[in-house]
């Protein structure tokens, strides 16, 4: 069983009345709420936390891409991964990922990921999200009805960039390049593991199952709600004749560990509330541009969008609700281990992305949460799925072939 | 009596638009806006059919019709409408369009000035002024739509009341929401993220006498755009209708039809 430590890099200074005074945390969120000097500290503390997670024994450290988003300060996750590449040496750099439909030519993504893979000695996990509607359609202006077609085309081009050794041409609908020959191409062969993060769209996990890529369901709503999507994913894998290796699948889960259940509430409740009530306060006009989902998916989900069903979701939930409904796995190490086993087995996932910096959680609590999980929870769950081979993970260079990072000697005097 | 559309086949079935066709007289090709033709042959079209052979096709991709995947941009759409006219044997006709359909009509009139005898543009999109942005239709919540689309939602005309009638059931509500998402997804291909796809580089080719109609209370596409279209089409006249919004043909049907008939003759 593998555990990864996921950072969203939220802006932790949204005001108490954010929900009342602002319509959205995303797209048109007021830039007056940001402060670059505080931002300097925020970024550096967040990088410290990711580096700490490696030291504690997490298998991967994860970053992702959002635009015009006050809960995700990583418009370029590759910059974060580059900073981490030099300051870490073991953990996978899980970039979840680059929204490949946004870059023209997408060769840029092939190149940057290759650089990260080589710089880190083969530790890159390459995530290819379609990207949310807020990021792609609203903040980056991509026509919704063309987004998926762009995505598939970009994927094909990047794969060719990584696997072909010749200089070739690419005559796509959205990208035409006469001479494709990226320098460098990746270290891991035939290419870094490809993970597809998704928010539950049918077409995303179907495509993922079709291609044999790892599907990583990034839900903020916990394992109880996540089960329907993961069950469908596994059904699709089975239909396609794939094995039931749990390492095909990943899941994001909010995790809060403390000495006792009561202590967990005392320490973390305010940050969980900040996350759900401020970070996820998205104007519904931005949530799902017409054409972002295929009509098939819209048709399948349309009944849930109207009437009583639509208004019942996530209203005035308390800490108790968040924990009982599985949005957050929280409590003492024993209690968390027990719930985590349910998550892992229930969803059949071999890769768990733990979100342990939540909302405005300060660094001391983040380190405490992380350390306690690594020391008292992880060991109880490590052996799960040990009978399966993880074919979806990094293949780094062996230690004897690795560069000595930061090895600077005084230069000999000239002359 | 409701008007039933016929389905025709274009380019070997690549496109199968539904076409409403009623009336006798000179042919008048009518191009609908982003909302589609789900309301069928509305009272404004019925009134025009008293004077003309009204041909109102559903654009590919709207109202569950196929073919949108073959149209990547406005150029493809203009070529498509030339194929459409060939299929119907339309060589010379009156052309009218509303909103996004007005943009399509202006583009077709610019591309084929030889085919269009007279042009009517009803609150068209297709031009852009930074200081007066067109409202972003795509972020409006369903309950907000009426206040942007009509001048006086509290006192709707019968046609507007019919358009915004409360759904009879949750099923109908879901079906209408689905149709709106599907139609707006199609519209996005020609409007996203800003409805300015180069008409300004082609509009000078419009040669037909042109009537530009605008609701004085249009909150979706401000009437300032009427002035701009008027300035860029030397053969045009602009009429602003008081008490009407963006859905002018449904809001002030009598006045609207009178203007069109006076102009087309």
Q: Give Cβ neighbours of residue B131 (< 8 Å, ≥ 6 apart).
A: none
Confidence (pLDDT) at A298: 85
Q: Decide if pLDDT at A312 tops 60.
A: no
Chain A residues with CB inside 8 Å of B145's CB? Answer: none
- Furthest-apart CA pair in chain B: how many Å? 50
Which tens digits make up the pLDDT trace of B26-52?
999 999 999 999 999 999 999 999 999
Q: Decide if pLDDT at A313 tops 80.
A: no
Residue positions counted in chain A: 415
Dihedral angle of Cα A61, A65, A71, A73, to the nearest 10 degrees: 90
Distance from CA of A344 to the nearest CA of B (A): 35
Which tens digits make up the pLDDT trace of A210-244?
898 999 999 899 998 899 889 999 998 999 888 99
Mutate to test the interface with B, among A102, A287, A306 (most CBs of B within 10 A): A306
Confidence (pLDDT) at A149: 95
Residue A256, judged by CB atoms within 10 A of its CB (0-12, 13-18, 19+), counts as: buried
Predicted confidence band of residue A285 (pLDDT cuts 50, 70, 90): very high
Please compute the mean of the pLDDT values over residues B53-63 and round it to a whole number.
Answer: 97
Note the ipTM here.
Answer: 0.93
| B174 touching A (Cβ < 8 Å) | yes
Confidence (pLDDT) at B255: 98
Chain A residues with CB inside 8 Å of B175's CB? Answer: 302
- Interatomic CA distance for residues B104 and B98, integer angstroms: 9
User: What is the rounded average pLDDT for all residues in chain A?
Assistant: 94
Confidence (pLDDT) at A307: 62
Which tens digits make up the pLDDT trace of B106-141?
999 999 999 999 999 999 999 999 999 999 999 999
- Interatomic CA distance for residues A170 and A165, integer angstroms: 14
8 Å CB contact of B188 and A144 = yes
DSSP labels, B204-248: GG--S-EEEEEETT-SSS-THHHHHHHHH-TTEEEEEETT--TTH
Cα B191 to Cα A225, B85, B100, B195: the distances in Å are: 36, 24, 8, 4
Least CB–CB distance from A144: residue in B68, B178, B185: B185
Residue showing tokens 């190490």: A333
Q: How many CB pairs under 8 A join A and B?
A: 75
Helix then strand then coil, % of chain A, to nearest 5: 45, 15, 40
| Residues B233-246 as b or e (16 or more Cβ within 10 Å = b) | beebebbbbeebbb
pTM assigned to the model: 0.94
Please compute the mean of the pLDDT values over residues B241-260 and round it to a whole number.
Answer: 98
Q: Decide if pLDDT at A192 tops 90.
A: yes
- Contact indicator for B104, B81 with CB cutoff of 8 Å: yes
């Amino acid at each position: 069983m593998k555990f990864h430590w996921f950072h969203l890099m939220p802006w932790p200074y949204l005001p108490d009345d954010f929900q009342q005074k602002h319509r959205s945390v995303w797209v048109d969120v007021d830039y007056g709420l940001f402060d670059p000097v505080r931002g300097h500290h925020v970024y550096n503390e967040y990088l410290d936390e990711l580096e700490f997670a490696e030291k504690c024994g997490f298998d991967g450290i994860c970053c992702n891409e959002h635009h015009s988003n006050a809960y995700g300060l990583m418009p370029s996750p590759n910059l974060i991964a580059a900073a981490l590449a030099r300051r870490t040496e073991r953990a996978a750099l899980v970039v979840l990922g680059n929204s490949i439909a946004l870059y023209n030519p997408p060769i840029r993504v092939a190149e940057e990921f290759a650089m990260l893979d080589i710089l880190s000695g083969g530790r890159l996990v390459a995530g290819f999200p379609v990207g949310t509607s807020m990021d792609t359609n609203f903040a980056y202006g991509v026509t919704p009805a063309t987004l998926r077609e762009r995505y598939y085309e970009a994927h094909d081009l990047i794969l060719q960039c990584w696997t072909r050794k010749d200089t070739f041409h690419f005559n796509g609908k959205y990208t035409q390049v006469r001479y494709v020959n990226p320098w460098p191409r990746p270290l891991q062969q035939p290419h870094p593991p490809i993970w597809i993060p998704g928010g539950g769209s049918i077409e995303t996990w179907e495509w993922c199952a079709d291609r044999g890529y790892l599907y990583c369901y990034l839900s903020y709503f916990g394992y109880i709600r996540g089960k329907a999507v993961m069950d469908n994913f596994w059904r699709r894998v089975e239909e396609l004749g794939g094995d039931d290796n749990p390492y095909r699948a990943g899941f994001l889960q909010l995790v809060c560990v403390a000495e006792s259940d009561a202590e967990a509430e005392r320490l973390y409740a305010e940050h969980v509330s900040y996350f759900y009530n401020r970070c996820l306060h998205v104007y519904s006009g931005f949530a799902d541009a017409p054409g972002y989902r295929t009509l098939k998916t819209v048709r399948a989900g349309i009944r849930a969008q109207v009437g009583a069903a639509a208004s019942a979701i996530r209203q005035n939930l308390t800490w108790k609700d968040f924990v009982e409904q599985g949005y957050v796995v929280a409590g003492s190490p024993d209690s968390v281990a027990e719930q985590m086993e349910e998550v892992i087995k229930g969803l059949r996932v071999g890769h768990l992305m733990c979100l342990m910096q939540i909302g405005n959680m300060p660094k001391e609590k983040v380190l405490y949460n992380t350390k306690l999980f690594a020391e008292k929870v992880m060991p109880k769950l490590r052996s799960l799925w040990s009978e399966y081979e993880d074919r979806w993970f990094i293949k780094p260079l062996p230690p004897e072939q690795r560069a000595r990072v930061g090895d600077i000697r005084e230069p000999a005097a000239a002359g | 009596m409701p008007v039933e559309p016929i389905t025709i086949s274009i380019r070997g079935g690549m496109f199968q638009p539904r076409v409403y066709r009623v009336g006798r007289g000179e042919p008048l090709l009518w191009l609908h806006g982003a909302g589609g033709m789900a309301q069928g042959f509305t009272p404004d079209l019925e009134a025009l059919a008293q004077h003309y052979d009204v041909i109102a096709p559903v654009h590919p991709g709207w109202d569950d019709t196929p073919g949108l995947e073959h149209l990547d941009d406005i150029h493809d759409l203009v070529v498509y409408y030339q194929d459409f006219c060939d299929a119907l044997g339309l060589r010379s006709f009156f052309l009218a369009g509303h909103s996004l359909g007005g943009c399509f009509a202006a583009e077709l009139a610019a591309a084929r000035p030889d085919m269009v005898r007279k042009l009517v543009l009803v609150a068209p999109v297709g031009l852009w002024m930074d200081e007066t942005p067109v409202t972003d239709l795509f972020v409006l919540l369903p309950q907000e739509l009426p206040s942007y689309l009509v001048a006086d939602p509290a006192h709707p005309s019968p046609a507007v009341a019919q358009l915004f009638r409360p759904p009879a059931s949750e099923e109908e509500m879901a079906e209408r929401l689905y149709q709106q998402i599907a139609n707006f997804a199609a519209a996005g291909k020609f409007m996203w993220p800003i409805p300015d796809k180069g008409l300004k580089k082609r509009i000078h080719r419009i040669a037909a006498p042109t009537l530009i109609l605008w609701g004085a209370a249009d909150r979706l596409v401000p009437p300032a755009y009427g002035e701009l279209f008027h300035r860029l089409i030397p053969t045009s006249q602009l009429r602003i209708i008081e008490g009407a919004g963006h859905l002018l043909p449904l809001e002030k049907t009598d006045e609207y039809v009178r203007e069109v008939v006076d102009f087309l003759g």
